Amino acid sequence: MNDSLDTNNQQADGGVARDMNHGPDQDHDHRLDDGLDDGLDGEELAHRHGAPRLRALDVRPLQHEGEPYILLRDPQQVSEHQLLVPQPLGAVLAFCDGRHDIPKMVKAFDRRYGIALPTPRVASLLDMLDNALMLDNQRAAAATAAARAAFRSQPCRAPALAGPAYPAGDKELWRLLQDYLEGAGEVAALPVDWSHPVGLLSPHIDYSRGGEVYAQVWKRSAQAAAEAELVILLGTDHYGSDLFSLTRQSYATPYGVLPTDTAIVDRLAAAIGEDAAYAGELRHRGEHSLELVAVWLHHLRAGRPVPVVPILTGSFHPWLRSSASPGDAPAIGALLTVLAEAMAGRRTLVVASGDLAHVGPAFGGRPLTAAGRQRLAAADEELVNAMRAGGSEAFFAAIRAVGNRNNVCGVAPIYLAMKLLGDLPGEQWGYATCPADDAGASAVTVTGMLFA
């Protein structure tokens, strides 16, 4: 999903970082030279944050009044703050790596850019980051623990996108998804052979752009969705670096609650390590990749619950630079083994939630031309052919061969699903090139696949 940002209420001026959670009637511009008359001498000022490290943040370039800025947000939502940092000063963020204190940052900045950056200005930026819980320190750790406890105490993982992305009411939602299904035409549900698990690849782009593809692949998978006794949900973790992120919470939709099979989650956590399994758990609260497919699953089951295992999957970037297979990694092997054991003897549906390419200026690339669109379609076809053939390694080899230059966000869930399914051949249902900016220069491509 190319999350658009409403920047109408954001204000910034040169050399100023702002906390965007304060309204215009409040005197909280947070200029970078604010708060520097606190009685600290230069030495104390230079070392009061030690060698700070940024937490994993959502970092986005943003144009405001013709000037470039960097927007910082917390994908785990531990911090409710959004900080807007002038792009030149934003270069300091690269030195918030746990190895540079303020004097070292100033020297590194001068060495790289030839600019003498005032120590108080850097200290003020770090103060803002610290106050917004964006530094990896004890304050942020305590806040994270409190947020995790609050999340786990809730009766379920509430829908984050009900209302903004799809109707919050069950009747209105039912009508919307039925309209998509009816518009898909004569797509017959595939009769299912439950002697082995069945899988599908679903988009997770917003319904308004990807609805036709959603409808085709889910309509074809209707019997599998309705009859499944267990559903493994594998979705892209757009903002985290953790290989896997688990939760024992159950996902709710406007139709009710899809209960998480906590026994399987517990076995997974034991296999990959508790700390690693739950480090990114809070990203489940806002991540759209699992929610948008869970809604379709629940719809195709007419609101009936089914045990699910919701897993957010991180980047496979380390394997793009080596000849090793991701499947040979101990953590991935452990996850696949536990899931395979849990699936044995149960009618299991494996859902990979992933989009294909993300190209153009909206994703840091060049504007998409007619020739570029042809190359994009050819690259996508190579991936689809690998999925048709049931070749997980061929699929990843095609991604690795070009360094994932098209920013395919579904690499991990697609690869893992195909591995779990024993590389079953797939059939394609739908394909779309979706606009990702107003100029038509950026695009997201999506497809649906059924593995049976």
Contacts 24+ apart (CB under 8 A), 260-264: 260/307, 260/308, 260/309, 260/310, 261/230, 261/307, 261/308, 261/309, 261/342, 264/309, 264/338, 264/339, 264/342
10 Å Cβ neighbour count for 22? 13
At residue 1, does pLDDT exceed 60?
Answer: no
Lowest mean pLDDT among 76-90, 207-221, 380-394: 76-90
pLDDT of residue 173: 98
In this prediction the pTM is 0.88
Domains of the chain: 18-144 (no CATH), 156-451 (3.40.830.10)
| pLDDT band, residue 89 (cuts 50/70/90) | confident
pLDDT grade for 25, boundaries at 50, 70 and 90: very low
First to last CA, the chain: 27
pLDDT of residue 21: 60
- Mean per-residue pLDDT of the chain: 90
What tokens appear for 394 in the block? 């061929």
Alpha-carbon distance values, 147 to 76, 86, 258, 260 (Å): 9, 29, 22, 20
Q: Work out the average pLDDT over 349-368.
A: 96
Q: Are 445 and 408 in contact (CB under 8 A)?
A: no
**Which pLDDT score, from 0 to 100, does residue 385 have?**
97
